[in-house]
Chain A
Amino acid sequence: MSEEKKTTRRQIAAAKTLKKFMADYFYEMDNAAKTGSQKIAWCTSVGPAELLRGMGFLVYYPENHGAMLGATRMSTELIPYTNALGYSPDICSYLTCDVGSYIQKKTPLTMAYNIESVPRPDVLVFNTNQCRDVQDWFAWYSRELNVPLVGVYTHRDIGEIRDYEIKDIASQIEDLVPKLEAVTGEKLDMDRFKEAVGQSRRTSELWRACLEASAALPSPWTFFDATIHMAPAVVSRGTKEANDYYELLLPELQQRVKNGVAAVEGEKHRLYWEGMPIWGKLRALSEQFYSLKTCVVASTYCNSWIFDQLDPDEPFESMAMAYTEIFIVRDEPYKEQYITDCYNKFKFDGILFHDAKTCPNNSNNRYGMPERLSKKLGIPVLTINGDLCDLRCYSEEQAKTNIEAFIEQLEEK
């Protein structure tokens, strides 16, 4: 028993296209930053991307960069540089590693695409629907680069969504228009905007269908696969190219379902992942679950880029609704019902909560939810401590033992 069993995970054929898709995305942005051919907006990951696309911006997402810093394990060494500026190690490690990356002039884009630096923004656009940290993050760049900062302030802990909340958010999005027009020098073209909302709605439908393929027994892909293949839904929603990608991926997954192809050979257990990914440990965790014949079939995280409410006929109001109804904005009863609905759909037999040290907004274990859901659904729950990007907060041995023990527990049932 001196060595852990090595595993070979089943590859997704569309991954090759995804690789080119992401390269093209960053090359287009890099070229625009160098030549000034197109304006660049930095946007938070669930920010008003459709409006920016509709106004002709190329859209760059610092959170995507944070995830890349995490996945390449560059983040942990970059975070302390931001801490030294007075930004606590307890705040969002996307923020601290991304700013550290800027200070140190180190980016994973160099290794992956031979791109020297992230594209300089013409405007910074946030939505606080995820957390307050995004505005502090963008505010740092606004001061550093002397770039305008605009944003939407979303209501929080919402149960039933009220009209006044939607009206407020819709008018906040509409109020962004003149500020963004000042950057582009052009008036908003409503047709172009509606087109972007329509494309984004299509992205959402396709992405939902891809994720729901995991309801099949056995599941054709895993949460760990989805964290990679979600990239077009995050960075290119509102474009035809993103939809083309999912038009390619979805049939591959559907074919796997039809043929009974399992992502995890001999799938014995199915789990739900609640909380942020641990970006620097995706492979290690994926391999551990594979060796335990356990498929993580669904997650709140990957579902976060489903925006059912987008409607090109009501672009402002539907964006307000789409970006307000997401899980992270909602109250505890809503979240519990949401996971219950996922349980009914994906038929998992346990829930893993990731308590991310620097991401309280996306760590839903802290107010007794695991215990309540375990009792309600009659399935066991496990909480592991870690972080999205700061691996100093992650004890790999302890997490591995916890996961292994959790699977032992499932097998005792």
Chain B
Amino acid sequence: MTTNDDSSIFVGVDVGASHTKVAILNSEKRLVGHSVRKSGTDFTDSAEICLKSALEMANALGKKIVRCVSTGYGRKNVPFSQGTKTEIGCHARGCYHYFPMAMTIVDIGGQDNKVIKLDDKGRRLSFKMNRKCAAGTGAFLEEMSVRLEIPLEDMDALAEGAENMVELGSYCTVFSATEVLGKIRQGEKVPDIVKGLFFSVIKRVLEMDSLTDRVAMTGGVVAHNPYLVNMVEEITEREILVPEYPQLTGAVGAALFAMEEGG
């Protein structure tokens, strides 16, 4: 690790239950390198591979790292970090960096969701995480893509191309899967079912808390399914703010904390 100068970089590592993300900021808070890969079973290994890849993208050397902060489910498994913050704190910090205003942040992750409310100074007023249930998370869509034999990456286009939407009433992922099979038997079209699955995710998230005027969405599900954001805009009748790299929001927040603590 090095002392701070113009070529200094600050690293945020977000080891999520599903994916590991690394963000590298330069001393002007510009995102100069980033990387995403599945967290797998060895969080330490994933974090190291992601860092290497992000450093290559930033064309920077490890010795220029002033400080690294880790976050996410595996935040304690990053041996090269000097500090940890929760993913709630990092999503708030990262999102406020892009949108400095009072807002509600809705993060849809692989295994959990967060709804965080910030004041106009970026301070957390409240937060809620989903209960111990996969409904409304990326895991729900992953499970359904397997059941429907549709590649996960095809779901967004299918939902967008739907002519109608099949509404699913079940709360639970297992019950929803049974319900989906019933809809297939009834001859419902697959795109209409996929749009119904998106709607189910949105319902689960929106029932977690009330929304304020300004709403931002982050997380891997949003990154890979932009049509889901369009649906939220329609349902909530408001423009939804989305950072350039929604999946990296937590990692960017961690890098910003690294800068504040080490810069």
**A-side interface residues toward B, CB under 8 Å?**
1-4, 374, 380-381, 383, 385, 393-395, 397-398, 401-402, 404-405, 408-409, 412-413
Contact = CB atoms under 8 A, between A and B. Distances in A.
A398 B82 contact: no
B131 interface: yes
Contacts of B128: 383
14 contacts: A1-B70, A1-B78, A2-B79, A385-B131, A393-B132, A398-B129, A401-B86, A401-B87, A405-B86, A405-B88, A408-B85, A409-B89, A412-B123, A413-B123
Contacts of A2: 44, 76-79
The 3 closest A-B pairs by CB, nearest first: A405-B88, A405-B86, A395-B132
A390 to B, nearest CB: 12
A3 B76 CA distance: 6
A412 B73 contact: no
Nearest to A355: B131
Nearest to B91: A405
B81 interface: yes
Contacts of B249: none
A401 B132 contact: no
Instruction: Select the residue from A393, A395, A401 with max chain B CB neighbours within 10 A.
Output: A401
A212 B182 CA distance: 59
A385 B129 CA distance: 10
B81 A1 contact: yes
B76 A409 contact: no
B126 A401 contact: no
Interface in B64-106: 70, 73, 75-79, 81-89
A4 B76 CA distance: 7
A65 B82 CA distance: 44
B124 interface: yes
A405 B79 contact: no
A398 B79 contact: no
Contacts of B126: 374, 380-381, 409
A1 B89 contact: no
A394 to B, nearest CB: 8
B156 interface: no
Contact of A398 (B75, B84, B125, B132): B132
Contact of B129 (A380, A394, A402): A402
Interface size class of B (residues with CB under 8 A): 20 to 34
B75 A1 contact: yes
Given A1-B70, A393-B132, A408 B86 contact: yes
B84 A401 contact: no
Contacts of A394: 132
B127 A409 contact: yes
A272 B89 CA distance: 22
A263 to B, nearest CB: 25
Interface of B: 44, 70, 73, 75-79, 81-89, 112, 123-129, 131-132
A224 B82 CA distance: 31
Contacts of B87: 401, 405
A356 to B, nearest CB: 13
B89 A408 contact: yes
Contacts of A405: 86-89, 124, 127
A398 B111 CA distance: 10
A279 B109 CA distance: 30
B194 to A, nearest CB: 28
A295 to B, nearest CB: 20
Given A398-B132, A401-B87, A405-B89, A1 B76 contact: yes
A413 B122 CA distance: 11
Contacts of A408: 85-86, 88-89, 124
A131 B82 CA distance: 49
Contacts of A4: 76
Instruction: Select the residue from B77, B78, B82, B126 with max chain A CB neighbours within 10 A.
Output: B126
A69 B132 CA distance: 23
B73 A397 contact: yes
A409 B82 contact: no
A380 B89 CA distance: 15
A249 B155 CA distance: 63
Nearest to A394: B132
A1 B73 CA distance: 13
A116 to B, nearest CB: 37
Contact of B124 (A3, A374, A395, A412): A412
A401 B124 contact: no
A1 B83 contact: yes
Contacts of A374: 126
Nearest to A370: B126
Given A1-B76, A412-B123, A401 B88 contact: yes
A395 B111 CA distance: 12
Contacts of B125: 380
A409 B127 CA distance: 9
A385 B208 CA distance: 14
Contact of B82 (A1, A380, A385, A402): A1
B132 A404 contact: no
Nearest to A412: B123
Nearest to B127: A405
A151 B104 CA distance: 50
Contacts of A395: 132
Contacts of A397: 73
Contacts of B75: 1
A380 B127 CA distance: 10
A402 B89 CA distance: 10
Given A408-B124, A412-B123, A398 B112 contact: yes
